[in-house]
Amino acid sequence: MPPKPAHSKPAHPKKPLPPPSVDFEPIVPDRLTVAALDELVAGDSREREHYEGGAADGEALTGCSFLECRFTGVTLTDAELRGSRFVETVFEAPFAHTLKAARTTWRDVRVVNPRWGSAELFDSELDSVHLTGGKIDYLNLRGSRLSNVVLEGCTITDLDLADARVTRVAFVDCRIGTLDVTRASCCSVDLRSSEFSRLHGIEGLAGATIDDLQLSLFAPLFAEHLGLRVEG
């Protein structure tokens, strides 16, 4: 007798991941040691320090490590931060025409009201990061890994997530000019309540959640990507 055909079990839809949350409690400033940016050198390891004001423009600060620190109103234009680590750290009103922070690690970090021109964070790791308010002209996260990240009330002219791995990320009341998700991998990404003017790499949105209005705005891009001709 011929063998009985194998019966495959019905596939069960994957349960959505819980929304991102950033709930660490930063240390209050009066419990931190006051420090100055001009004391920093490349490879420094700093813990429980407060940097208020001052500038490190153009300084070589590669490979630094900051644990439970706070930066208030600092200027970091062209400071070379490549490979540095920020853990349980808060940035308040940081400024930089160009932020050079490629291949950096950000874990349990809050960034409040940044004013950045070009923020070069490509090939970085962001885990449990909350970015609130502020204005960024170009946020380069190309090839980065983002997990448990919330961007809230931000204005970003160009957001580059090409080749990035994006998991449990929410955009809340943000205004984004151009979003590039070319070859990105998205899982549990919430774009609802935010505005996007242009979109590149639409196939990279697979795994993201959008609302009805965004669907209508993105419809021409979907049609172009699928090779559809819309008439009437």
CB 120, CB 100: distance < 8 Å: yes
113 assigned to some structural domain: yes
Of 119 and 222, the structure prediction assigns the larger pLDDT to 119
pLDDT digits (tens, 9 = 90+) for 28-41: 777 999 999 999 99
Burial class (CB in 10 A: 0-12, 13-18, 19+), 102: buried
Instruction: Tell me the CATH number at 116.
Output: 2.160.20.80
8 assigned to some structural domain: no
pLDDT at 133: 98
pLDDT digits (tens, 9 = 90+) for 49-84: 999 999 999 999 999 999 999 999 999 999 999 999
pLDDT at 224: 76
pLDDT at 24: 64
185 assigned to some structural domain: yes
Q: Given pLDDT bands bounded at 50, 70 and 90, which one contains residue 123? A: very high
pTM: 0.87
CB within 8 Å of 115: residues ≥ 6 apart: 93, 94, 95, 96, 134, 135
Boundaries of domain holding 212: 36-224
22 assigned to some structural domain: no
Mean pLDDT of 112-118: 98
Mean pLDDT of 131-152: 98
231, pLDDT greater than 50: yes
Mean pLDDT of 186-203: 92
6 assigned to some structural domain: no
57 assigned to some structural domain: yes
pLDDT at 12: 46
Of 13 and 131, the structure prediction assigns the larger pLDDT to 131
Rounded to an integer, what distance in angstroms lies between the CA atom of residue 8 and that of residue 10? 6
Report how many domains make up the chain.
1
CB 220, CB 199: distance < 8 Å: no
Residue of 169, 224, 168, 216 whose CA lies nearest to 196:
216
Mean pLDDT of 1-27: 58
pLDDT at 7: 52
| Euclidean distance between the first and the last CA atom of the chain, given in angstroms as a whole number | 57
Q: Given pLDDT bands bounded at 50, 70 and 90, which one contains residue 13? A: very low
Weakest mean pLDDT among 37-41, 83-87, 112-116, 198-202:
198-202
Mean pLDDT of 154-161: 98
150 assigned to some structural domain: yes
Of 99 and 203, the structure prediction assigns the larger pLDDT to 99
193 assigned to some structural domain: yes
Mean pLDDT of 135-154: 98
